Structures are given as C-alpha cells and as structure tokens.
Structure 1
Amino acid sequence: MTLLNELGFLSLATRIKTLGETMLADGLQIYTGLGINFQPRWFSVFYLLQEHPELPVTEVASRIGLSHPAIIKIVESMEEAGLIDSARNSRDGRKRMITLSAKGEALIPELQPVWKALEEEMKELFAERNIDILGVLESFERILQEKPISKRVQERYRRNRPLDIQVKPYSKMLAPAFKHLNEEWLTEYFTIEDEDRHMLDQPEKILSEGGAIYFACLGDEVVGTFALVALQKGVFELAKMAVARRHRNRGIGQILLHHALTEAQGLGARSLILHTSAKLEAANHIYGKVGFVEDRLTAQTMKYLRPSRRFVLDLVRSS
C-alpha cells in the first residue's frame, strides 16, 4: 500500500488527478496502438466541432466547461497537427472562429469506432462492479457547486477550534472595530446608507443616550460587535451586530446575541427590536432561535432604504 492509499481522504484530490493522468496516458496508447495520430486531450474540442461545424473559441470553452486559456492551448496544439483551421470572425474581429480542417474531417470515420469501443468497454468495466461512476461524478460536482470544499473545510476548521471569546464593553481603544466590522458586512450585502453612517460615525452618542456597545474579542483581535440603542423607556434596538467575515460560522454571533439579551435586561429593557433582511439568513436563524418574531402589525416607516423586516422580542415573557 502506498502513502496515498494510507492517507485516505487527505490524498483524494491527488489520487483523482493521478488516475486521470493514467487514463489519459492509456488513452494515448489506444490511438498509438491503432496507428491513429490523435491525443486524448483533443477529444472534447474535436467532438464538439464535428457536431458544430464552426464555433468561436469562447463558446467552445463555455460548452466544454474549461477555462479560455486551457482551450486556447488545446486549439493551438490541434492546429499544429493540422486538425483545425481558425480565422477571425468577419463581423467581430475579437472572436476567433475554429472549424475542423479537411484532415480533421477525414479522421472522423477512423475515430468513431474507437470511441464506440472505448465507451462499451468503460460501461462494462463499471457495470461488472456495480458502480454508477457517472452518477457519482454528477452528484459530487453538484455538491461542490453548491458549496466548494474550501468553504466546507474552513467552516469545519473554525468550528473545531476552541473559542475563548471575551465580551468587552465599549472603549476608545476598541471603538474603530465597531465601524470596521459593520462596514465589512454592509458592503458585502448592501450599500452603506446615511442612517448607517450616522450610527457608525458617532458611537459615543449611543452611549450618551442610554445605550451600550460591546465587542467580542478573541485574544487581541476584535471579532464581533453589537449595539443596544435606547429608543424609549423599556424599549431598545439591537443594532449593528457584526462578526468578522473570517470568523463566521463559529458560534460568535450566538455568543453576542445572548450577551445582548442579558445586557438589555440589565438596562431595563422590556422589549427588544431589530431590523434585518431576508439576505441575512444565518443571523435571522439565530434571532428566531431566541424568540424574535416578525412584527407585521405595527405601522412604521422603515429606517433603511434597503429591504428590511422588523423583528421584536418580548423580554418579559421570554425571561
């Protein structure tokens, strides 16, 4: 057993790559053994051009699903072998049109029986082992389109790392993070509005009017924040709750939210409101878990131009 076998899933990408290279090398042996001057890496482009007599390179790349530079390399190699003719589009000089040459057309009758034999052999090979290889590949590709492995691993890595979060009250030293963290998520999802600027540029006004601002700290790094804005006696708004992008999906939002509820009650809040958006799915999920419900009855003018929803939590009933 080789090291790659022993590493299991850690070497999956390398083994798939190695298997692909082995199959391509074996494919070259098929053509060489049959006396046909053809390379496996040409197959997709060649097959597409026999079905569509003339196509721009950009469309070939799009239909096959490879990058434009990768297709250019294949096309240039096929052109050197005399299988492809290319010319600039007469109506759009930026587009390079490619078509099979006379030599390429003449090769079709030789190649089609080879492809038929290859397809039949591969079908039989996997059928004997009861492996739906195409179904597995399609399913895996679909899963990775929904969420790439990079994102999955980063999220799991963050979940696995122990968190020692300290929630600290507002201080001048921590103050810049209130603006920075909120600008990060606002520009990610929306546009920063005047109402946002008013609050982010004057955080101490929130404090002077009876509110509070807190920060989640991981060591020396500020990774999250929120504000409690006093609206009227017994009513506060949970506003500008943010978690640093690279620290999301680690439960920091939940830590901040539970701290916000405790602090709001300490300030004498009987109810807590917040404004959110349907785009903020992760945040809305944790709001719902602690009992926030959408306020559809109160007549109100929304404070933001972006599509917003108003939620409310009765702290008396939930305590």
Structure 2
Amino acid sequence: MEFFNQVGKLALGSRLRMLTERITDDAAHIYKLYDVELQPKWFPVFYVLSQGEPRTITTIAREIGHSHPSVSKIIGEMTKKGYITEKKDKADGRTTLVTLSPKGKAITEKIAVQYTDVNNAIEEILTQTRHDLWQALEEWEFLLEQKPLLKRVQEQKKKRESQHVKIVDYTPKYQKAFRDLNEQWITQYFKMEEADYKALDNPKSYILKNGGHIFVALYNDVPVGVCALIKMDDPVYDFELAKMAVSPLAQGKNIGFLLGQAIVKKAKSLGASRLYLESNTILAPAINLYHKLGFKKVIGHATPYERCNIQMELILK
C-alpha cells in the first residue's frame, strides 16, 4: 500500500479497482464453497430473475444499472449454461422475455444460505470499521450523479488556470488584439459589418471618448480576450456589453466570465441601471455565459447588425 500512501487520492480509481478485484476473486471462491455454479459478474442478472417475473433485457439493464450490451452478453453466457430460458412475449411477438430455467431456479434454493452467511460476514466487517463503506458508496454515487468527476475536474482546471488571467484596462497597444480577436470569431461564423469596422478600427473615438470602456484579458501577459462597455443613447439602456472575444487557444480558462464580471462591475460603478447586449443563438457557449452572468432575453430593440437574432438585458438596480 506504499504506492497509494504516496499517490493519495489521485489513485482513487486504481484503489477501488483493486478492492473490487479482491472481492470478486473471493466471490468466485465463495460460490464454489457453496457448490453454486455462478460467476460473480452474473449475480445482478441472476438475482433480478430470481424474483420470479420474466423480464426483457432492457428492463434488466435498467434495474441493475448496466448497459444493454453488457446484460445481453451475460444472458448469452447464462443461456449456454442452461440457467436461462428465452421466449417471445405473447402480447408482443417482437419482444423476447428471459426467465430462469428449472436449472437456474434450483440454484435459487441452494444459494439462500450463502446469502445469509455473506450478509453476516459483511455486517461483521462493518462493525470493525470506523466508516460505513456502504453509506459512503451511496453518498459518492449520489454526488457523482449530480455532477460527474470529469465535470468537477474541468471546473478545478478552469479555476486554476483562471488564476493566471489578469483583466486590465485597454491601452492603444492592445488595439490590434482588440480587432484581431473580434474579427476572428465574427468571420468564422458571419461577416464583418459596418458597425464592426466603426468599433474595431476606432475604439478610442467610437467607444472610449463616448464614455465607454474596454477590458483586456491577459493570460501569462498575452492578450487573449477583450470586451467593451459601450455607452448607449437610449431611453432604456445605459450601456451595451459588446465586442467580447476570446482566443480559441485560451478558451476553457474562465476568461469570458471574468471579462463579463469586469464589465458588469464597471457598469455598476458608472451608475448604470440596465445593461444590454446582442448576439446570435448559434453561439451557444456565449449565450450560456450571458445567462450565467444574469442576462435575460428581451425583444423589440432596434439593431444595426444583420447577425443579431437574440437580445438580452441585465437589470443592475
């Protein structure tokens, strides 16, 4: 166990697999001890069928939490041994029902005392431990059902990498990055329009001098994301969140969300009550980001962009 002491929780999967293999190996010997000719991997299928009612493979798979191909393979192996009988459903000739054969049912009677002894042995182990493994497994299964381990690792990765991101104010040295990053995503999905050229070619006169603001996201001091807060001449909205772009090479590092947070915070500091934005539903990650920031869909506002098919607002106060 020295390896696991050194590696720790990183080897959780390996340690669980080793424990499973140990128990499975013991299980094979336990079946022999009681003169029961079953393989450990067959047990979930056997137990379900031992309850008496014929079932389809799909039903069994759903009950035991296995895949359909896995159950189908086990059914095939047990059928070759003579433990299972297959027959067509009288109500639906396209459906095959499986049930225990007389040989399989004979095992049901023989295995009853094995159930008792195994259950008591496990109970004995539980009384000798400080932690109830059975309850712990239930907790882990519940938590992983809510959010898989992969998703949790992705979140930790994003959290760690976002620590290397700095959000800074725009200066003229970032004009090329501001234009290039936006032109990259616009031309990937749409076409550059007149309003794009106005903002990207002249950010100082079009955005900054009119009371707007631009933030730049630096990852290891390299500009990889930008976003603008544009002052609006509108009776309802004070500012527009616009020209958000993140380099494809830097996506997945929480940069868009950090830029959005900076924009919202700046708008609040300027006394804004409503923030507006325009986008296109083909940009699903962006729409999800805006929802995460608190934006909600609105309709009926005039737009200078052909590509706009969704408008959103964030009420700040």
TM over 0.5: yes
| 160 and 61 in structure 1: CA distance in 2 versus 1, 3 angstrom threshold | same
What is the identity, as a one-letter code, of the residue corresponding to 2:314? F
**Equivalent residue in structure 1 for 2:195, among 205, 228, 231:** 205
Supply the distance in 1 between the matched residues of 2:136 and 2:197 (Cα, whole angstroms). 57
Q: CA deviation at 1:151?
A: 1.5
Supply the distance in 1 between the matched residues of 2:94 and 2:218 (Cα, whole angstroms). 53
Q: CA deviation at 1:240?
A: 6.6
What is the identity, as a one-letter code, of the residue corresponding to 2:259? I
Is 1:100 the counterpart of 2:100? The answer is: yes
For 1:310, the equivalent position in structure 2 comes to 313
Q: CA deviation at 1:110?
A: 0.3
For 2:179, the equivalent position in structure 1 comes to 171
Is 1:255 the counterpart of 2:259? The answer is: yes
- Structure 2 unaligned regions, length at least 5: 200-205, 209-213, 279-284, 303-307
Alignment RMSD (CA, Å):
4.2
Q: CA deviation at 1:235?
A: 3.1
Q: Aligned ranges for residues 139-288 of structure 1 at < 5 Å?
A: 139-161=139-161, 162-164=163-165, 168-169=174-175, 170-172=178-180, 174-178=182-186, 201-206=191-196, 208=198, 210-211=206-207, 216=217, 218=219, 224-228=225-229, 231-232=232-233, 235-239=238-242, 241=244, 247-248=251-252, 250=254, 252-258=256-262, 273-274=275-276, 283=290, 286=293
Supply the distance in 2 between the matched residues of 1:283 and 1:227 (Cα, whole angstroms). 14
| 231 and 95 in structure 1: CA distance in 2 versus 1, 3 angstrom threshold | farther
Cα shift readout 1:192-230 (whole Å, capped 9, x = no counterpart) = xxxxxxxx6445414537458877464799865545455
Q: Is the 8 A contact 2:277 2:313 kept in 1?
A: yes
Q: CA deviation at 1:22?
A: 1.0
TM-score, normalised via structure 1 length: 0.70
- Structure 1 unaligned regions, length at least 5: 184-199, 315-319
What is the identity, as a one-letter code, of the residue corresponding to 2:240? E
Q: Aligned ranges for residues 70-89 of structure 1 at < 5 Å?
A: 70-89=70-89
How many residues align structurally? 283
Q: CA deviation at 1:62?
A: 0.8
What is the identity, as a one-letter code, of the residue corresponding to 1:175? E
For 1:111, the equivalent position in structure 2 comes to 111
What is the identity, as a one-letter code, of the residue corresponding to 2:254? R
Supply the distance in 1 between the matched residues of 2:186 and 2:221 (Cα, whole angstroms). 15
Q: Is the 8 A contact 2:182 2:244 kept in 1?
A: no
Q: What is the identity percentage for the equivalent residue pairs of Structure 1 and Structure 2?
A: 26
